[in-house]
Structure 1
Amino acid sequence: MTRIIENLAEVSDLYDAVLCDLWGCVHNGLTAFDAAVEALRAFKAKGGTVLLLTNAPRPRDSVAKQLDRIGVPRDCWDVIATSGDSARAAMLTGAVGRKVWHIGEPHDDPFFAPMELIEDAVEIERVELDQAEGIVCTGPFDPHADPSVMRPHFLLAKTRRLKLLCANPDIVVDRGDSREWCAGALAKLYTEMGGESLYFGKPHPPIYDLARRRLAQIGKPASDDRLLAIGDGIVTDIPGGIGENIDTLFITGGLAREETGTDHQPDPSKLARFLTDAQLEPTYSIGMLR
């Protein structure tokens, strides 16, 4: 049974580093959550390391700039690992070919920038679908449109046996009070239609390998039994941490706020039903990170 805790400090002495999700945990896409910022600051003050582990389909420098804009201060974190960087490394080594059809918005263009440490990188050319050797999906063209609008395109892509590189496995995200579709929803549809989708963010292993390398690069490696994965995604953050044998802290007041009856804290009976349905058992649960 998951243990409902009141704050991160209650268990922080057990861990050397946290792998903390961003959207829904530290901010809502528009503004920072002050209590979460203070919780991470307090963890760092006790000697802990904060790695922000995000399914954002962008380079980590781009994510850092976004955090600056919405008020997440740099003194509450140490390093960032993104699904975008993990996926970019695969793309630049030719995972879906040289000529790619890009599904995404203009603000995702940094995904195609050169990347350090990739030797002999493939020169990527963005082309139309009928000329493509593969697909790179950083998100929908319109995050408010139902993913089914992509069916005609995906039927052609499947017929041509194109692989789809998914830069963000998240299905949905809440931007303020508005829910938006993410790249994971399109990759899921493509797979259901018989296409092949490649994933690099949570809950899949490549992003956790990247996280461990990032910790080692800053001189803060941590054994798995001293890592805590924090997130609100019951299909990304929690199964990802469990799959890596890492303890998990489920933020119930994010995507699952309604299902878990979360106000200040989750309703224990609703939380239990929700986790039973999900067939998952996070180590800890809390309403919001604080």
Structure 2
Amino acid sequence: MPRIVHGLADLANGYDVILCDVWGVLHDGAQYSEKAADALARFRTKGGKVALITNSPNPSRIVRAQLELLGVPANAYDAIVSSGDVTLSMLAERAGEAVFHLGPPAETALFDELLAVSGKPQRRASLEHADFVLCTGLVDPYGGKPSDYDPILGRMLAKRLDFICANPDIVVEIGGELSYCAGAIAERYAGMGGKVIEAGKPYAPIYDKAMRLISETNSGVAPDRSRVLAIGDAMHTDIKGARAQKFDSLLVASGLHREQLQAAKGAELARAVLRQFVDEAGFAPTAAIPELVW
């Protein structure tokens, strides 16, 4: 059983670094949580370091701008790393290859960032002439379902194209409604036998980058991994990824799984409900909290 806590203060003294999820913990896409931001800021005041770690397919520069627009105070974190940052590195490694972009047509931030950083545009092509595929999400992020993409996935499989997934999340909550993410399409392609390369949580590259950023903010000193706490609201990405990295983890019950955990209205996190939840998942976080507060 995970330990049930009612504030980050119950755990803070045991850690030097927090890797905190963004969507579902710090904000819900429409407004940010003042309590969550305050908790992270208080942890930093005590000498801790905070890296926001998100499966956003956008570069961290854009994630930072989005947080500023929502009003998230800058004193809540030291650094940001996104799956978009990791994806940029993957694109740079494939310089000269042609990519087919699967996602919202207007979602060009990765291509714009690559051009700004390298001075060279990513060569884009139709599926028939592509060397690999980059998926940033559904073409219509507010409609459709992953199975709609089976015909195009079949064509990709016939060409044995690598599939880079810029956002491994399966679903995200937007305004109280769940919408599919790139990870849902990646899951179907992998199920067909296609090769999927994941950029974000729960996979290692995004954690490696986050730890490097934290080291840079700490005079180059690498943090003790036993004193790193990963905070998130999704078992499939946040908690699974933390376990793979051997980090302790804190599940925020008011996010993605709030209906299962009966925390939608700030109710107490019932021990029996939590036990059933982690039994069904097959793994557990180190601790759980109704919502992120100090």
Under a length normalisation based on structure 1, what TM-score does the superposition of the two structures give?
0.95
Distance 2:270 2:93 in 1: 47
Alpha-carbon deviations, 1:48-89, whole Å to 9, x = none? Answer: 111000010011100000001112111111100111111210
Answer yes or no: is the 8 Å Cα contact 2:202–2:242 preserved in 1.
Answer: yes
Partner of 1:207: 206
d(CA) in 2 for partners of 1:204, 1:52: 16
Moved more, 19-28 or 9-18: 9-18
1:54 maps to a residue whose letter is T
Moved more, 122-131 or 246-255: 122-131
Q: 1:226 to 1:216 in 2, by over 3 A?
A: same
Per mean C-alpha deviation after superposition, the further-off stretch among 220-229 and 57-66 is 220-229
Q: Contact 1:101 / 1:135 at 8 angstroms: preserved in 2? A: yes
Provide the residue aligned with 1:289 in structure 2. 292
2:236 aligned partner: 235
Provide Cα deviations, 1:2-28, integer angstroms capped at 9, x if missing partner: 000000011101111100000000000
Partner SS for 1:18? strand
On the 8 A contact 1:92/1:123 being kept in 2, the answer is no
Query: Percent of aligned positions with the same letter in both sequences?
Result: 38
- Report the Cα distance in structure 2 between the residues aligned to 1:178 and 1:98, rounded to whole angstroms: 37
CA contact (8 A) 2:111 2:121 kept: no
Q: 1:80 aligns to what SS in structure 2?
A: strand
Aligned 1:149-164 pairs, distance under 5 A: 149-164=148-163
Q: Name 1:20's counterpart in structure 2.
A: 20
Shift of 1:114: 4.3
- In structure 1, list runs of 5 or more residues that go unmatched: none
Query: 2:133: which partner in 1?
Result: 135
Gaps of 5+ in 2: none
Question: Quick one: which of 250, 253, 278 aligns to 1:275?
Answer: 278
Is the aligned partner of 1:33 residue 2:33?
Answer: yes
> Offset of 1:107 from its aligned partner?
4.8
Deviation at 1:266, TM superposition (A): 2.1
Is 1:145 equivalent to 2:153 in the alignment? no
Deviation per CA, 1:83-112, whole angstroms, max 9, x where unpaired? 1111210121019x7111101224531111
Correspondence for 2:110: 111
Distance 1:129 1:266 in 2: 48
Aligned residue runs from structure 1 range 63-142, under 5 A: 63-94=63-94, 98-115=97-114, 124-142=122-140
> 1:177-200 deviations in whole A, cap 9, x for unaligned?
121111100100111122111012
Measure, in 1, the Cα distance between the counterparts of 2:81 and 2:105.
22
Cα separation, 2, equivalents of 1:58 and 1:19: 18
Structure 1 stretch displaced more, 210-219 or 262-271:
262-271
CA distance in 2, matches of 1:249, 1:154: 36
**CA distance, structure 1, for counterparts of residue 120 and residue 192 of structure 2:** 29
Alpha-carbon offset, residue 219 of structure 1: 2.1
Q: Deviations over 1:255-285 (max 9, x none)?
A: 1001112242322211111111111121110
Equivalent position amino acid for 2:45 in 1: A
CA gap of 1:56–1:76, structure 2 versus 1, over 3 A, is same
The 10-residue stretch of structure 1 (211-220 or 242-251) with the greater mean CA deviation from structure 2: 211-220
Distance 1:79 1:175 in 2: 24
Aligned equivalents of 1:50, 1:136: Cα separation in 2: 29
Cα distance in 1 for partners of 2:43, 2:36 equals 11
Counterparts of 2:167 and 2:145 in 1: how far apart (Å)? Answer: 17
For 2:28 and 2:78, locate their aligned partners in 1 and report how far apart those are by CA, in whole Å.
Answer: 20
